[in-house]
Structure 1
Amino acid sequence: MEQKSDADVKSGVEKVLRMFVKQWDIPNAKAMIRSKWHSNLHFRGSYSNNTLKSDALDVSAEKLRDPINESNGRPVIQFAGEATNPNHYASVHRAIETGWHEADRLIQLYK
């Protein structure tokens, strides 16, 4: 993804949003910010970690994976990734597992 232009990524994200949120008219994004951590020589990627501050703010993996719901309780935006796994954050296999979890949620929603 980092090798794609901002315009390509922006249009791709807009297309996917419109595929899943058909009940609303999604306008084109005015701007986009994205990371390029993998190609940054000082980072080469990144992962989450819990801190004393996140504990003090009660920001947990469970809370990070809570979807944003419509007023009727249907999820509109769902979150996945290693930061949303409460047991094994900072691992690829757990990032994949959270993606499967959210995919299962979508399958159940659109049956």
Structure 2
Amino acid sequence: MLKKTDLRVIRTRKMIKESFIDLIQEKGYESITIRDIADNALINRATFYLHYVDKQDLVDKLIDEVFEELTDTINPCIYIQKKRVKISQFQSMIEAIFT
């Protein structure tokens, strides 16, 4: 049976990720602390550590998510039919990747 993730967990992780990305644009990666991320996400540090080991763990998980989305989007089999590439759908996929 598939276990459903609690919406509070999903929301908290989303807030942490958005906070982290905002802070990278504002301060740069090196100068960001866990306290900065937590304050910006409106959570406490302990909550951050319930979800991530440290800042590098957060980065690693963000990268994994991006690669997973890319892999799902790039699936070449869905763009080939009767040994021909569906150019318009393939082009839409490429545009989505670069967006």
TM-score range, shorter chain: under 0.3
Structure ID, larger Rg: 2
TM-score after normalising by structure 2: 0.24
